[in-house]
Amino acid sequence: MPAIVLIGAQWGDEGKGKATDLLGEQLQWVVRYQGGNNAGHTVVLPNGEKFALHLIPSGILTPAVTNVIGNGVVVDPGVLLTELAGLEARGVDTTRLLLSADAHLIMPYHVAIDKVTERFLGAKKIGTTGRGIGPCYQDKIARVGVRAADVLDEKILTQKVEAALEFKNQVLVKIYNRKALDPQQVVDEVLEQAEGFKHRIADTRLELNRALDRGETVLLEGSQGTLLDVDHGTYPYVTSSNPTSGGAAVGSGIGPTKITTVLGILKAYTTRVGSGPFPTELFDEFGVYLADKGGEIGVTTGRGRRTGWFDAVIARYATRVNGITDYFLTKLDVLSSLETIPICVAYDVDGVRHEEMPMSQSDIHHAKPIYEEMPGWSEDITAARTFEELPQAAQNYVLRLEELSGAFMSCIGVGPGRDETIVRREIIR
């Protein structure tokens, strides 16, 4: 009864959709367990067709897989309906999508507050996407949130919205000089949207545990990455949830003892979207090269990603806090044609060498990368399907990353396509 966690081991955008798609034929369930529509996956089918997914799990593109938006996710009803309509217009069957009754809904006032708060912070902004994710999680923790099941009872929904806006309208009007929102208008809008998804609301905790009892395979799919985790990331420049593997149990209702594998996704270099520290960030022609050749544009945000060399300090940290058993290394092909490839093996913080993540926010901001150089390769590797078919320099690079990261590189992405992957060790075993 394998439950597998799929987690980004850097700052997100590592290529988790490709990993999910690769495993798709062996899965019966795919669960999104945290985050909202502030992140996304790109999946490329064998025919070259691309799909950008934001809220809906990547398993939606694999027939016979049941997909779940878990209780740990915050859901914008309008975005959900738009994404479903877009998939259905392209011939994708969406009938096997369930929504946890306990998933919290992003309300119009969450989006309004998110946008005005970021503008108010100016140079001190966190770098949110302005989609209401943080304010929705704030309401969840404050126990004043609206959950998916609330749309099934108009009285409860109205009470919650009225109570929320009694305070939030004061904030919008008196602090940010914005218009107050009408509670009834908000309720009416959400109930209208609910007509398009309320038939999908289910006790997904029960369904997932029954599936595991039947011996079915469940993949728990996180969004963002380890260094954006609200507890374990580069705080405060993080997301508002727990993308790390511990969040998978909480955000799905599956007990941690049922998780058998934790698959970390690592890019062969490093990227980050938004504000915050990034020790290996490049500002030269190599940064431009990685961004251009790697197509480093955020799937959901459309923002260009910051780029840098591979950071082994982060990889070791991700291995430890997630309990990673296997790695999927993506975008190795992007490095082809480089004469040498630097790897950050440690940090220099005010003259002191750190081989592990610095403890304080100040130290991570002052961290300077300590590099070792590996020989590059010039060959096109996109046709390689076994590890031995890679150029020796590429093999050596992968093995060095494996050694520095502390977990086996089970899969290697050598191109964007579904079949452009080397499998050294099966993930489901």
User: What is the set of active-site residues?
Assistant: 13, 41
Provide the token pair at 46: 């064998």
What is the dihedral angle through the alpha carbons of 30, 33, 36, 41, rounded to the nearest 10 degrees?
-40
Q: Where are the alpha helices (DSSP H) in 269-407?
A: 285-293, 312-322, 361-366, 392-405
CB burial readout 9-18, b (16+ within 10 A) else e: bbbbbbbbbb
Three-state SS sequence of 20-58: HHHHHHHCCEEEECCECCCCCEEEECCCCCEEEECCCCH
Find the angle CA(39)-CA(255)-CA(224) to the nearest 5 degrees. 15
Distance of alpha carbon 322 from alpha carbon 263, whole angstroms: 9
CB burial readout 372-389, b (16+ within 10 A) else e: eebebbeeebeebeeeee
Say which DSSP state 242 is in.
Answer: -
Tell me if the bond preceding 369 is cis, omega within 30° of 0.
no
Provide the token pair at 392: 């020796």
Distance of alpha carbon 134 from alpha carbon 111, whole angstroms: 9
Strand ranges, E, within 70-110 = 74-75, 97-100, 104-105
* Backbone angle region of 215, left / alpha / beta, with phi > 0 → left and psi within -120 to 50 → alpha: left
C-alpha count within 13 angstroms, C-beta hemisphere, residue 260: 12
Contact 269, 294 (CB under 8 A): yes
